[in-house]
């Protein structure tokens, strides 16, 4: 007894989540690119096209609901579909963060650059890679890769603290920099949140593949065997 129809539906769901992941990752990338190249038009476009992400999110949720209602999935299938709904929400939030970054970029563009940007593009590169790897782990049921994503979250957190400390010195030295410094701090905060969403997705992947709930550092608190 094989469930070809159902298997096909699950594959469609996976593909659609991948499309969603690719879409939001690209939007984060473009938002940071717009920041680096002071490209107002790109930033505007990201804000204007957020609807694509929202529509896809609703589409994926509908698909999941329909599968839950009609296929009564159990065990790994149940974990996959319920987690897909959570991953879907995380990806949509990543899309929102891209919009937030683009909005901050629009605040920054009319003003002279405050400083050369070094840590923010590094944060962005790590966060984008985390999203991509979390989705790769999802597609390949690769819990080891998912755990690797979890480890990288700390790097992003540290970079965010570093950005914050550095910009604080600018603001203390010259109140005229406050608006630009705050915009940059907000951008680093958005990137840090994107890494957090990647972490959530990685945790869901571990739940799907191993039926283990590792959220809230549950795994670190387990007594070592």
| 204 binds other proteins per the rule CB under 8 A | no
| 66 binds other proteins per the rule CB under 8 A | no
Among 41, 51, 75, 220, binds other proteins (CB under 8 A): 75
| 69 binds other proteins per the rule CB under 8 A | no
Residue nearer to other proteins on the CB measure, 65 or 211: 211
Residue nearer to other proteins on the CB measure, 69 or 173: 69
CA distance 102 to 3: 44
| 73 binds other proteins per the rule CB under 8 A | yes
Are 222 and 159 within 8 A, CB to CB?
Answer: no
CA distance 45 to 53: 13
Among 69, 74, 173, 217, binds other proteins (CB under 8 A): 74
Among 69, 72, 217, 223, binds other proteins (CB under 8 A): 72
- Tokens standing for residue 136: 């790769």
CA distance 68 to 66: 5
Torsion of the alpha carbons at 110, 111, 115 and 118, rounded to the nearest 10? -20
| 173 binds other proteins per the rule CB under 8 A | no
CB of 65 to other proteins, least distance (A): 17
CB of 6 to other proteins, least distance (A): 7
Residue nearer to other proteins on the CB measure, 2 or 41: 2
Residue nearer to other proteins on the CB measure, 126 or 205: 205
Q: Exposed (0-12), middle (13-18) or buried (19+): which is 148, by Cβ within 10 Å?
A: middle
| 29 binds other proteins per the rule CB under 8 A | no
Residue in 22, 179, 59 with CA at minimum distance from that of residue 109: 179
| 5 binds other proteins per the rule CB under 8 A | no
According to CB under 8 A, which residues from 76 to 135 bind other proteins? 76-79
- Tokens standing for residue 51: 């609807």
Per residue in 117-137, is it b (16+ CB within 10 Å) or e — as a string?
Answer: bebbebbbebbbebbebbbbb
Provide the binding-site residues for other proteins, judged by CB under 8 A: 1-3, 6, 72-79, 211
């Amino acid at each position: 007894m094989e469930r070809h129809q159902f298997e096909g539906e699950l594959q469609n769901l996976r593909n659609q989540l991948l499309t969603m992941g690719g879409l939001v990752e690209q939007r984060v990338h473009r938002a940071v690119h717009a920041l680096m190249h002071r490209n107002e038009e790109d930033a505007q476009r990201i804000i204007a096209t957020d609807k694509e992400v929202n529509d896809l999110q609703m589409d994926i949720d509908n698909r999941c609901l329909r599968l839950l209602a009609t296929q009564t999935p159990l065990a790994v299938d149940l974990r996959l579909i319920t987690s897909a709904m959570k991953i879907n929400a995380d990806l949509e939030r990543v899309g929102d963060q891209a919009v937030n970054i683009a909005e901050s970029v629009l605040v920054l563009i009319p003003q002279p650059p405050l400083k050369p940007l070094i840590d923010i593009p590094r944060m962005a590169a790590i966060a984008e890679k985390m999203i991509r790897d979390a989705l790769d782990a999802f597609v390949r049921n690769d819990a080891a890769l998912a755990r690797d994503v979890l480890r990288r979250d700390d790097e992003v957190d540290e970079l965010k603290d570093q950005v914050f400390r550095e910009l604080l010195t600018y603001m203390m030295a010259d109140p005229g920099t406050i608006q630009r410094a705050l915009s940059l701090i907000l951008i680093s905060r958005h990137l840090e949140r994107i890494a957090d969403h990647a972490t959530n997705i990685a945790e869901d992947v571990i739940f799907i593949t191993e039926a283990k709930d590792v959220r809230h550092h549950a795994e670190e608190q387990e007594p070592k065997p």
